[in-house]
Structure formats: structure tokens, C-alpha cells
Chain A
């Protein structure tokens, strides 16, 4: 089974979101997935990288965002690691609950979960947060 892996380390800046999205788009094209799947992956990656840069690393340029892209015959797996204080997804309220619909933030994780088949968060022993997202073929 062939697994292609690409790794990126990017600075904690807003423009990293576009840089990461461009790298992932190239990877997704090489991996050959449908246009719909590619749109969803792009959306999820932008939201995950935004979270890593803004909420995880607080745009501290001394911290980096590590991205690992893996393509296998079964799925595409994307892991994004930040060096922040650690993130607990259960603390994020449901943005589609009536009382939250008009909130101006809090939809990023909802989009990640909507467009990917699996989204899990880990707090690795070295610190920070890793989010792992899977899109099955």
C-alpha cells in the first residue's frame, strides 16, 4: 500500500492559512479526489489552520504550525499541530443552536466536522494541540 506523506512547518501568521491551503490543494490534486471532496478539505484545512494560528499559537511568531498530509488508497489524513495551551473541543458551543445562530464566531469546528469524515483532537505529551482530520475516498 503506497502512502505519500508531506510535512510543512509554517509561521503563526494569518497568511499561513492561505499558504497551507495552497499546499494542501496541490496535495489533494495529486491524490485525485472529487471536486466536492477537495472543496470540503480546503474549507476544513483553512479553519483548522486558522484555529492553530489564532487560538492555539495566538499569532506568536516564535511558535509554529506543523502540518502532516498523508494520502493512502483509502483516505487522506491531515494533522495540524500548534504549540498553544491545549484545546478542548467540548467547550465549543453548537453554532446551530438557536441562541448561537447570530454569533459572529464559533463556526470553524462545525465546518471541519461537516466536511471531513473524522475529526479528533489530541493533546500530545510535548504540549500543544493536534487535530487529525480524515477524508475517506
Chain B
């Protein structure tokens, strides 16, 4: 099984990526990078990452989230995060990134925030 599984769905002009597994150095980080680059190439710039199934992330994975955020902003798009586990929320808090990302616990609220 892949380290990180990513399922894509569309809600209006928002692309939701349901992610499960690990975002760690190597396969997991590369899978996230590849998915984001592909969406940007397809002109999909409003992206919601559903991280409910991501049980583990390392500094490389957090770097990849930052890299995705920056790349999407550069294209005048928006990246938002949904359903952070407590551990991921703790990591984003200590790295002061929780204030950088737009984070939601409800998918409906997250989708509305793009409008």
C-alpha cells in the first residue's frame, strides 16, 4: 500500500483531496507535491486538503504543506486545511504555522470560505 493515499473530488470550483496515510520524507511528501503540481497545471487553484486520515507527518511533510501553500498563493489560488488530527495541530502550533494556514473542522464551513 502506498505511504500516502490521495483521493480527489470536486465541489463546485473547489478541489478536495482526501488524504490518508503518512506525509513523510520520500514517498509521502512526493505524492503530495505531485498532486498539487498536477492540480495547478489543470488550472485548479482552490484546494482543500482533508487531512483526517493523515496520522503522521514529519518536518519534510510540513515543509511540503508550506511549499504547496506558497505555490498555490503564487498562482492566486487558495489552499485550506480540513480535519487536522490533534498531533498535526500541535505540530503546526509549535512551528507557528497554525496562524498561516486557514484551518477548518467542518467541510461545509471550509467550502463556504472559498466563496
Contacts and interface: CB of A to CB of B under 8 A. Distances in A.
A14 B25 CA distance: 7
A67 B60 CA distance: 21
A46 B22 CA distance: 13
Nearest to A43: B58
Interface in B47-100: 58-60, 62-64, 66-67, 69-70, 87, 91, 94-97, 100
A17 interface: yes
A101 B94 contact: no
B20 interface: no
Contact residues on B (Cβ < 8 Å of other chain), bracket: 20 to 34
Contacts of B69: 102
A105 interface: yes
B26 interface: yes
Determine the main DSSP class of B at the interface with A: helix
A61 B92 CA distance: 33
Interface string A5-38: 0000000001101100000000000000000000
Contacts of A43: 58
A107 B59 contact: yes
A133 B91 CA distance: 19
Nearest to B22: A18
Contact of B58 (A50, A101, A102, A106): A50
B4 to A, nearest CB: 13
A110 to B, nearest CB: 7
20 contacts: A15-B26, A43-B58, A46-B24, A47-B58, A47-B59, A50-B25, A50-B60, A96-B94, A101-B100, A102-B66, A103-B63, A104-B64, A104-B70, A105-B59, A105-B63, A110-B59, A110-B95, A111-B58, A111-B91, A114-B94
Interface of B: 24-26, 58-60, 62-64, 66-67, 69-70, 87, 91, 94-97, 100
Interface of A: 14-15, 17-18, 39, 43, 46-47, 50, 54, 95-96, 101-108, 110-111, 114
